[in-house]
Amino acid sequence: MGILGSRALDIDVSDRDLCLILGYLATPGRVGFIEAQIPEEKVSLFKKAYPNQECYPITQGETSSGNIMKQGMQFRIYFNNIQNCPPILVSFIGEGNGTYVKRINKGKFIEKIIEKYGFRFGHSQDEKLIRKKVLQYHPQYMDIFEEGYSL
């Protein structure tokens, strides 16, 4: 379905590399949090697209420096650790914040893995559902998914 605008960025890799990345992300304890920051006037749109999923509403106003608060929806993946990160993923990972060591800010990518591969906004992932979705869409790359999962 997709609710992000055209400026949202993806991670454009082959299906093989995507399965490696999905396996890596599905590893228990790897991802700490998948965040959706949503301007308060767009929360109903988010809730319609992603029922029963977590989001953080952004109240509109000005920052302490007088700038307008974020107006667009932002999706992020925060990592607890990036040990053994596949080289194909390294260039898409940025600095973390707080207790999270690194993060991915590619909204279209995050939207894709939420909508198609069973990932969820919030702090917990259903590894069995993710595995089932990867098997459904890319059965020929399940060994690559498992490779990423075991890194």
Q: What is the pLDDT of residues 16-29, one digit of tens each?
A: 999 999 999 999 99
pLDDT tens-digit readout, 28-51: 999 999 999 999 999 999 999 999
Helices (H), the chain: 15-26, 43-49, 87-90, 107-117, 127-137, 142-149
Question: Of 101, 100, 98, 123, nearest to 36 (Cα)?
Answer: 123
DSSP codes joined into one string, 15-54: HHHHHHHHHHHHSTTTEEEEEEEEEGGGHHHHHHHSTT--
Average pLDDT, whole number, for the chain? 93
Which two three-digit tokens encode residue 22? 């999905």
Confidence band (pLDDT; 50, 70, 90) for 111? very high
Q: How many residues does the chain have?
A: 151
